[in-house]
Amino acid sequence: MAAITKDTIIGDVLDLDPTTAEFFLNMGMHCLGCPASRGETVEEACQVHGVDCDELVAKINAHMAK
């Protein structure tokens, strides 16, 4: 499975592995069903929610590697 980056679109992450939704929900992004949120990059969402993007990307990639 391909690794995600901070430039990956959230909708693409969720399509690759729907179980990654928990990472976005845990950072306060409760609008995952909204078309606008699915079109944001991981970095854009992290900026809005005050989350360290590199840390989130590393956690999601580790989760997806399992």
**What's residue 1's pLDDT?**
61
> Cα–Cα distances in Å, from 4 out to 9, 39?
9, 15
pLDDT of residue 29: 86
DSSP state letters, 6-29: TTSBHHHHHHH-GGGHHHHHHTT-
Q: What is the pLDDT of residues 10-44, one digit of tens each?
A: 999 999 999 999 999 998 888 887 888 888 999 99
Is the pLDDT at 45 greater than 70, yes or no? yes
